[in-house]
Amino acid sequence: MSDNVKWTVPRIRALKGKGKIVSLTAYDFSTARLVDEAGIHLVLVGDSLAMTMLGYENTLPVTMNEMLLHTAAVARGVKNGLVVADMPFLSYQVSIEQALMNAGRFVKEAGADAVKIEGGSSRAPTVRALVENGIPVLGHIGLLPQSINAMGGFKVQGKTAEDAQRILDDAKAVEDAGAFAMVLEGLPAALAGEISAAVSVPTIGIGAGANCDGQILVVHDLLGLYGDFKPKFVKRYANLGPEVRKALAEYRKEVEGGTFPGPEHSY
C-alpha cells in the first residue's frame, strides 16, 4: 500500500542500499491509478506502449505526440509515484538541443517528473545537458530496444568479457553525467550485480537478475494481457487475458439472448 508521500528523485536515490525500488510501466489513466494505489515507487510511461497499446512490432515507430498523450494520462492517474516518460526513438538522438526541447515537453506539457533515455557513454553528453537544465534522467543501458536493428534483435547483452566491460563503462558514464538511476536491461545477473556495486545511483533491472537495486516489468506482461508473450524474465502475477475473454463472451451471449440489460439495469 502507498504511504501517501510523493516519490521524488532524491527519495528514489536515497533508497540505494536501503530498500528495493519497485517499478512498473503504465500507459493510461485507469491502470496508472491502480499501479499508484499499489504503492509502486516509479511509474514508467515506457515506449513499450508502441507494442502493448498501439500494436507495433517494436518500439521504433512511436512518436513524441503519442508518448505525450499517454504520459499526460498517466500523470493524471498517479498521485505518489515518480512519473518517468520514455523518450521515443529519434526524439533525443539528433541533437542535444532537440533532446532538451523534447524532454522539456514531457515535463511542461505532460506532467512527467523525469525522462528516460537509452544509451551509455555515447549518450552521456545528452544526459548531462538535461540534468543541468533541471530535467532528471533515468538512464537505460544493456539491451537497448531502440537499437534492436543494430543489436540483431532482443538479445541478452554483456556475455563476453569485452562486452561486459563496455556496459560497465556505460554505467559509469551515465552515472557521471548525472542520471539519478539507471535501467539495466537484458544482462547476466552477475554483471548486473557488478554494475550495481560499482555505481552510487540505483539500478533498476529487467531481465537482469536479482542483484539490482530495484526491478521493473511491463504491466501487461505481469498481468498476462499481451497475448502469449512470456520471456524467461517475466513473472505473471495474474493471467487476465482469459478472464477478459470470458467476460466478453458472456456479455455477447447475454445481449444476443436478451438477458442484458435486466430490470436492475434499466430506468
When asked if residue 203 is in the footprint of ligand KIV (CB under 6 A), the reply is no
The C-alpha cell that represents 261 in the structure block: 440489460
Residue 177 near residue 127, CB atoms below 8 Å: yes
Cβ atoms 127, 154 nearer than 8 A: no
Residue 27 or 173: which CB sits closer to ligand KIV? 27
For residue 139, report the phi and psi dihedrals to the nearest 5 degrees.
-75, 170
CA–CA distance, 28 with 51 (Å, rounded to integer): 14
Q: Judged by CB under 6 A, does residue 141 bind ligand KIV?
A: no
- Residue with the closest Cβ to ligand KIV? 46
CB of 246 to ligand KIV, least distance (A): 28
The single residue among 177, 216, 223, 225 that binds ligand KIV, judged by CB under 6 A, is 216
Please answer whether residues 99 and 128 qualify as being in contact, where contact means their C-beta atoms are separated by less than 8 angstroms. no
Residue of 185, 243, 250, 256 marked catalytic: 185
C-alpha cell at 257: 439472448
Instruction: Count Cα neighbours of 251 within 13 Å in the Cβ-side half-sphere.
Output: 6
Is 48 a residue that touches ligand KIV (CB under 6 A)? yes
Q: Which stretch binds ligand KIV (CB under 6 A): 46-54, 120-128, 164-172, 226-234?
A: 46-54
Q: Should residue 221 be labelled a site residue for ligand KIV when binding is judged by CB under 6 A?
A: no
Rule CB under 6 A: is residue 213 a binding residue for ligand KIV? no
The site for ligand KIV, by CB under 6 A, has a size of 11
Q: Which stretch binds ligand KIV (CB under 6 A): 40-48, 62-70, 95-103, 237-245?
A: 40-48
Specify whether the CB–CB gap between 87 and 126 falls below 8 A: no
Contact yes or no for 154/189 (Cβ under 8 A): no
Longest dimension (CA), the chain: 71
To the query of whether residue 185 is one of the catalytic residues in this protein, the response is: yes
Where does this chain bind ligand KIV (CB under 6 A)? 25, 44, 46-48, 86, 183, 185, 206, 216, 218
Residues serving a catalytic function are: 185
